[in-house]
Amino acid sequence: MSVSVSVSGPGVPRRRGRTTVLIAVAAVLGVVAGTCTGYLVQADRAPDALPSLSQAALPQAKGDGPEPLSAAQDRRIRTDGDLRKLLLKKPVEARDAGYAIGADGWLDLAGYAETYDKPAGAFGDLVAGEFRRAAVVNWREGSSLFVEIRLVQFRQDDELVAADDAGDAYYWAGKKPHTDSWPIPGTGDGMAYVHNSPDRKAGYTDVYNGEAHAWRGDIEMQVWVSSAKPVPKKKIMDLATRQMERL
């Protein structure tokens, strides 16, 4: 009686390559054979033995479709319309600001870029940022308090530019020394600022400033207040809150 012994160890390498290939080939042949058998079984069946793939025609809905949403229900209807209508109205007692900005309440790309310290650089950034349009209103209250409000709209095909632009405004406003700030209710991250140190320029009256920034959807809100006296927190917060309620 002869006994065959299989030895494995460091000196006798195991030849698994050929066995693995044979098993794999057998498995593939088995799948092919099974598939062929399935086709043959189906070919031998009568046509009426197979389930029908067709279905009975479903009845179509009749009548008019749903009414389109109103502007109160669909914010996009309002923001794609006349942007100037979303601006706060001048108070009855307010007077003309005495300086012109924009044309008939609109700021085009070049006009808006001019509101920056470096208009040329701002122009390129606004083009890249998909600036769409801007609406503006301004007025004077009393003898020395001036208000200006801007709504800046972006196309936002690729990113939330309005949010990014507002974020930049938060950074620069908060960086000024002697500044108090408060969140604007109902805006998420909107902020209002009062700068307690005036801007001083030889030959001119000292000017105190307040500002507020927030965004909603594709629109950035900017509120600017300047006065010969410190800007009250109540004033900047009231303007910012009421303007955001209109968006």
Range among 34-43, 57-66, 89-98, 216-225 rated most confident: 216-225
Range scoring the smallest mean pLDDT among 52-61, 65-74, 167-176: 65-74
Backbone angles phi, psi at 34, to 5 degrees: -65, -40
Show the tokens assigned to 122. Answer: 């701002």
Percent of the chain with pLDDT over 90: 60
The amino acid at residue 100 is A
Residues 245, 242: Cα–Cα separation, whole Å: 5
Q: What is the pLDDT of residues 84-131, one digit of tens each?
A: 999 999 999 999 998 888 889 999 999 999 999 999 999 999 999 999
Span 210-234, pLDDT tens digits? 999 999 999 999 999 999 999 999 9
Residue 157, CA atoms < 13 Å, CB-side half-sphere? 6
Per-residue confidence (pLDDT) for residue 13, from 0 to 100? 37
Per-residue confidence (pLDDT) for residue 45, from 0 to 100: 58
Which structural domains are found in the chain, ordered by start? Answer: 75-82+94-245 (3.40.1000)
